[in-house]
Each structure stands twice: as C-alpha cells, then as structure tokens.
Amino acid sequence: MPQTHHTVIIGNSQQMPEIANQTIHLMVTSPPYPMIQMWDKQFCELDPKIAALWKKLEAEGKEELVAEIYDAMHQNLARVWAETYRVLIDGGIACINIGDATRSINGKFRVFPNHSRTIEHCEKIGFTTLPYILWKKPTTKPLYKGKGAYLGSGFLPPNAYVTLDCEFILLFRKGKLRKFPPHDPTRYASKLTKQQRDEWFSQIWNVTGTHQTANELERRTAAYPDEIPERLVRMFSVKGDCVLDPFLGSGTTTKVAVETGRESVGYEADQNLLPLLRKKIEALKVAMAEVRVVKR
Ligand SMILES: C[S@@+](CC[C@H](N)C(=O)[O-])C[C@H]1O[C@@H](n2cnc3c(N)ncnc32)[C@H](O)[C@@H]1O
C-alpha cells in the first residue's frame, strides 16, 4: 500500500485556514450533540453567549431561553458545516453522525431533534440531503417521566416515553455527482463486495457501540466504533482520497483512514485529548502512514 499522509490539528474547526478550498473528498464526523448534558461545558467554553444564556435561564427561568440556547449550539456546529462545504470538492460527501437529545429543563421533559436541525442548516449552506442511515444501538431502558427507568406505573397509558435507541448518520452531497474516467483503476481497487454493498446501503445499521471495548477516556469522548467510519469511508471515497473529521475526539477517523489507504485531516479543540491521540497515532505508524500533529 502506498504511503498516506495524515494531519491532526489541535484547534477549533469553525475556521480551517490550514485547508485550501475544494481539496477534501469526504467528511466523516460525530459532533458534540446539542442539549446532551456532557457537552454543555464545552459549548459554553467555545461560545460565551451560550454560557450567558444558561445563566440567564437559571436566574429567570424563561421558557424561550431554552430555544435560544439550542439555536446557539446549532449555529456553532453550522459554522463547521459551512467550512466543510468550502473545503469539499464538487461531488464530495459529508457524513454526520448525530443523535437527538431528551432532557428535562425546568421540570419540562422534551426531545431536541438534532438531526432535523442539522439538515436545515446544511440545506441552507447549499448541501443536498441524501437518504440517511439509522444506527440502531442495543436498547437501553425505556423512559418514564424523563427518568432513566420504566417504572411499574409506566404500563398505564398515556405518560410514558418512547426510547431513542437510534442515532442518525446524515448524508449530504456538495454539488453534482462526482465523475471518474471509465474503468478508473483506483475506483475499481476500492470496490465493495456484494455482501458489503447489500448490508451497508440498507437504512438500518445494527452496530454495537464502543462501550464494551473502549477505555475510560475514549468513553468520555463518546468515540464511535471503528466500524461506523470504516463503512462510510469505504462507501463514499476511493483509495488515496482525503477524509476530513472536524470533531476528531480520540482519532477513530484518522485510524480508519490509515487502514483503508486514504489520507486525512482531523481537528480537535480539546488539548486534553492529545495523549490519547498520540497513543493512537504511534500505533499507526507501522502502517505506512505519516502522521503529524499540529498545535495552533
Ligand atoms: C462526539 S466527540 C467525537 C468522537 C470521535 N468520533 C471519536 O471516535 O473519538 C466530539 C469531539 O469534538 C470536539 N470538538 C467540539 N467542538 C469542536 C470544535 N469547534 N473544533 C474542534 N473540535 C471540537 C470535542 O472536544 C470532542 O472530542
């Protein structure tokens, strides 16, 4: 396999000055999910407006502030989707793994439909929405009154809630279909098997999460299992293409890019993940890959 090149940039991907226009073939990522509590702190650090809105909500308890916080979180993500649009080639694909959030705020339980808000933002930016994938995770316990367990009285209608046990893998294209010369050897060398084609292009994916195997830090990063980016990279790029992950976390997308003969660029805002990233990268160097870490 020819040597491939990989760059990890420690910095905020809302601006990607390191990447020239139209040089990325595929984006595969999983952002922090708006309104999932574990990401509140990071959204506040990245955007002081969000921190101020949470404080105001605490003090005043006004319902409309919840909608403002939710909007502001998605606007932060949308800046990254707009930068992604700029760097993708014509015909390039963007894959976004995102889950909806359920949460009780000021005693009111509700769902925050992150997938539909993301589609709205990406459409406004200019992306074309393609048929998407539902990643079905092993079922957790159904909810009752917004709490984690389905209590005995949950058998009585009508106040129990449906469990969200699917995440979305949203798919978008920039511009027109990508074109290749007839019988392009790289494209043929990247061909899927019939079994892969049948399974991967069906809408529901039963893929086990990382929890059983990941270490503590990786679990806190909410790392996706290798199988998710691996399928996406192999479905939507050819060998030698460059894959972007603007929310790199523990570096799963970089690892998969190395293993599938693609190049990659990844961004990660949290410096504390550097040791974990370096560890993953060290293990990859044997695989004919040149990986460099750049601190902004
Ligand atoms: C859900 S995790 C990604 C996990 C990753 N797919 C993996 O397998 O490890 C989202 C990551 O995005 C990072 N992040 C959030 N906002 C960012 C931004 N604006 N720029 C760069 N990284 C960001 C977070 O620190 C977090 O590590």
- Pairwise CA distance, residues 208 & 211, whole Å: 8
Residues in the ligand 1 pocket, defined by CB under 6 Å: 12-14, 30-32, 42, 46, 80, 221-224, 246-247, 249-250, 252, 267-270, 273
- Non-local CB neighbours of 199 within 8 Å, separated by 6+ positions: none
Q: pLDDT grade, residue 141 (50/70/90)?
A: low
Instruction: Indicate which residue's Cα is closest to atom 3 of ligand 1.
Output: 249
Choosing from 37, 226, 247, 252 the residue with most ligand 1 atoms within 8 A of its CB, the one to mutate for a pocket test is 247
- Pairwise CA distance, residues 198 & 205, whole Å: 11
Check: CB of residue 3 under 8 Å from CB of residue 290: yes
Ligand 1 centroid–CA 43 distance in Å is 11
Asked if pLDDT for residue 52 goes beyond 70, the answer is: yes
Q: What pLDDT shows up at residue 20?
A: 98
Mean per-residue pLDDT over the chain, rounded: 91
Largest CA distance in the chain: 64
Q: Judging by beta carbons within 10 Å of its beta carbon (0-12, 13-18, 19+), is residue 277 exposed, middle or buried? A: buried
Q: pLDDT grade, residue 204 (50/70/90)?
A: very high
Read off the pLDDT of residues 76-97 as tens digits, 9 standing for 90 and up.
999 999 999 999 999 999 999 9
| Percent of the chain residues topping a pLDDT of 90 | 77
Ligand 1 centroid–CA 162 distance in Å is 28
Q: What pLDDT shows up at residue 162?
A: 87
List the structure tokens of 273.
Answer: 């993940």
- Which runs of consecutive H residues, i.e. helices, occur in 126-212? 185-189, 194-200
Q: What pLDDT shows up at residue 170?
A: 99
Ligand 1 centroid–CA 155 distance in Å is 39
- Which runs of consecutive H residues, i.e. helices, occur in 126-202? 185-189, 194-200
Q: Give the three-class secondary structure for 291.
A: strand
- Pairwise CA distance, residues 139 & 125, whole Å: 34
Ligand 1 centroid–CA 27 distance in Å is 14
